[in-house]
Structure 1
């Protein structure tokens, strides 16, 4: 008969591979279920919303440009200023409402130490927003 025999030596070894067929069947069923239900999830309720013509008032703060050339001279909005005026102008800009953004422009030959000193003076004066202006590569 096919049920087994009494000999102990010639039997088959147990199967050590995973049967993938049931896993593939479940995956295909889930794929079909998701393909059917996905369009139903994007359905929305159409309602007529009221329209308003008011726009929010957005005050754009002014910008202050502080430029430095290679010789260490300072320019406030393209007008030359003395070193002694810098702290008072930065303090005045820091107390303005809304506070202006400070844009730093430096010549290519300007020493980094000079730029760091100006940035430190701006931070001590209370300037919150500071950025660098660069020339894009062409």
Structure 2
């Protein structure tokens, strides 16, 4: 605690300064903060995966491919044949998912196709359990 001494004059007692000098307190707090930051371990954001030990042999034959097209009107075609409705699409997807060696489903939406139609094809594949599905023709969306 410091005192404020008046410069001569009236002969009374000097006034006591009631303000605390906070500079040393701030210095100590900054040092403690830096020590805390240094001692905190860096968190590792990693995903644990079971990777294969050896290289698997290449497949003897390429998997069969199913072409699913969605035109600008939202009409879905399965290998060139129109699909009647969502139930028919679900039957096709269930048949693909039930096979031991699932065929690859290549989904080719038209650039002007409604998102709802493409999303319904993807949702139908997910519900049926088809795991080998991919979008084809993405280069048409590059400008």
1:28-107 equivalences under 5 Å are 58-83=60-85, 84-107=87-110
1:43-76: CA deviation from partner (whole Å, max 9, x where unpaired): xxxxxxxxxxxx9761321011111111111110
What is the TM-score normalised by the length of structure 2? 0.53
Q: Return closer, same or farther for 1:67/1:56 CA change in 2, 3 Å cut-off.
A: closer
Gaps of at least 5 residues in structure 1 are 1-54
Q: Hey, what's the Cα distance between the residues in 2 that align with 1:71 and 1:85? A: 18
Q: Is 1:128 aligned with 2:131? A: yes
> Aligned pair count?
84
Instruction: Give the alignment's TM-score, normalised by structure 1.
Output: 0.55
Q: Give the alignment's Cα RMSD to 1 decimal.
A: 2.2
> Where does the alignment leave 5 or more consecutive residues of structure 2 unmatched?
1-56
